Amino acid sequence: MPILTVTNLAGATRDVTASAHGSVMEAIRGAGFDELAALCGGCLSCATCHVIVHPDDFARLAPMSADENDLLDGSDERTPTSRLSCQIPFTEALSGLRVTIAKDG
Amino acid sequence: MPNTGTLIVGAGHAGAQAAAALRQFGYEKPITLLTEETDPPYERPPLSKDYLARDKTFDAILLRPATFWASKNITLTLGQRAVAIDAAGHALHTADGTAIAYETLIWAAGGHARRLACTGHHLTGIHTIRTRADVDLMQAELAHTETVAVIGGGYIGLEAAAVLRKLGKSVVVIEMQDRVLARVAGPALSRFYEEEHRLHGVTLLLNTAVECIEERDGRAAGVRLANGTIIAADMIVVGVGIIPAVGPLREAGAAGANGIDVDEHCRTSLPDIYAIGDCAAHINPYAPAGQRIRLESVQNANDQAATAAKSIIAAATGAPAPHYDAVPWFWSNQYDLRLQTIGLSTGYDDTVLRGDPAARSFSLIYLRAGQVIALDCVNATRDYVQGKPLVVNRRIIDKALLADTAIPLKTHG
């Protein structure tokens, strides 16, 4: 199973493994991080699964959709490597991905 | 009596988030999360969408992994119904005769799906969509169901209709009002969704009252309308709202006519008892001034949970408690249409249509006394995002400018 490295709001980092069938959001939520709200459950209706991807990993991700980009625009916490974690399918190829939960995640 | 600390009744979005938020904000006393349901906390919105369509498994809609609650030292008590509250004695009684002492009680019991009251309302084959168990019952019957009558053209009914059409069922939606979504949206949005459902093969009966449910061999066989017509159906789905589940709280003396009244910190009129989520009647800064409302949404459940959790912690330390003032938002997915709502359209006196519904991407903007109070955005995420500051800041903007899609809404922010 692919490995995801997650940093929480307190700055603590932990490696988690997750099934390669879900999204990065599901991997984070499934690992029990309580700061990621993911309120709409992953249907691209909100921006509460906001993560900041490690700059060295950002290019590994497929480009985001216009809707994801628009939703991120609504966040005061947006950075150049911000993504909505529900929109990143978590695959074996992405193993080692490093993300930090955003303050409004 | 087992413990004190905080006892939370109801483990939907509100109750689950209240427990998680208390721990997140540093609450160290015992927390018990008690629900009459037999499943750990899960998301409700997919029940009428992805979960009904079997596009998502139950595990995929769990709010937290099953191990989360124990890892946060939160006692999850499933299958227990609260039946009485001794407010003075700070104890809750459950259906099996247990008394649970509490220091603080959070009532987050939501509501039960409103059922029909007419002849035949009790028959097998009539379904509501409120819990996982409800939808599992529906799914067990779907394999041998060809025709479905949906009573109620609100969000739940329409979302279910969209899924059932996708599953190849023949669907009739029966709505008492002269349009769908009549209680929650403007006519332009109603007309758009009516057209979409018709194009997808749904038969819509508006201005249509139900007389009774027809029976055959002990099960529901159709719906008899007030005009005498019988709509034959193998399955009947009733989506006519909820009744707040507040009986024990009301009997204990909590104030409230429609749900339970709470103040800006989500406190009820009873000592050390909070109420949050679908059943909490509150003064919402986005509703008409002074109007007490209940809001049935994930946003409201989640944000009121955070308000109550922070208020409980503040009460212990003497710090000022936060006020509930979050901007309401909501979503509904039907077919390939994504509706996103910001604000509350309650009490609107004017609307502006931005974009062309025929293009299947547009927004309906609601105004009250000239101020932007809400937007319903269909496949128009940018308007949803950029419309939020207009709602938060109660902006007054020329209607022609609002309607002009060549001008981004952020220009007016």
Nearest to B162 by CA among B193, B206, B205, B116: B193
Q: Where in chain B is the domain with CATH 3.30.390.30?
A: 336-412
Q: Give the pLDDT of residue B3.
A: 53
Tell me the fold of B336-412. Answer: Enolase-like; domain 1 (3.30.390)
Interchain contact A73–B (C-beta under 8 A): yes
Residues of chain B short of pLDDT 50, as ranges, are 1-2
Q: In a structure prediction context, what are the per-residue pLDDT tens digits for chain A, which is 105 residues long? A: 899 999 999 999 999 998 878 999 999 999 999 899 999 999 999 999 999 999 999 999 999 999 999 999 999 999 999 999 999 999 999 999 999 999 988
Q: How far is A56 from chain B (nearest CA, A)?
A: 29
Euclidean distance between CA atoms B306 and B326, whole angstroms: 11
Question: Which chain B residues touch A66 with a CB distance below 8 Å?
Answer: 381-382
Q: Which helix (H) or strand (E) holds B313?
A: helix B298-317
Euclidean distance between CA atoms B321 and B318, whole angstroms: 9
Angle at B154 between CA B148 and CA B155, to 5 degrees: 90
Euclidean distance between CA atoms B105 and B31, whole angstroms: 10
Tell me the fold of B6-112+242-317. Answer: FAD/NAD(P)-binding domain (3.50.50)
Q: Give the pLDDT of residue B132.
A: 98
Nearest to A88 by CA among A27, A46, A3: A27
Q: Give the pLDDT of residue A71.
A: 97
Q: Which residue range is the domain that position A59 belongs to?
A: 3-101
**The CATH number of B115-238 is which of 3.40.640.10, 3.50.50.60, 3.10.105.10, 3.40.50.12280?**
3.50.50.60
Q: Where do the DSSP E strands lie in B319-410?
A: 329-334, 337-343, 350-356, 361-368, 371-378
- If one counts the domains in chain A, the total is 1
- Backbone φ and ψ for B32, nearest 5 degrees, come out as -120, 130
Per CB distance under 8 Å, which residues of B are interface residues toward A? 20, 23-24, 43, 45-46, 49-50, 60-61, 64-65, 67-68, 71-72, 298-299, 302, 329, 331, 333, 338, 340, 381-382, 384-386, 388
CB contact under 8 A, B381 and A71: yes
Nearest to A29 by CA among B51, B21, B65: B65
Report strand pairing: B111-113 vs B242-244. antiparallel
In three-state secondary structure terms, B111 is strand
Q: Domain containing A65 — which CATH number?
A: 3.10.20.30
For A:2-21, CB contacts with B below 8 A are: none
Q: Where in chain B is the domain with CATH 3.50.50.60?
A: 6-112+242-317, 115-238
Q: Give the pLDDT of residue B2.
A: 47
CB contact under 8 A, B331 and A70: no
Euclidean distance between CA atoms B141 and B144, whole angstroms: 6
- Which residues, at least 6 apart from B176, have a Cβ–Cβ distance to it below 8 Å? B207, B208, B209, B210
Nearest to B387 by CA among B359, B358, B361, B354: B354
For A:30-69, CB contacts with B below 8 A are: 30-32, 34-35, 37, 39-41, 43-46, 66-67
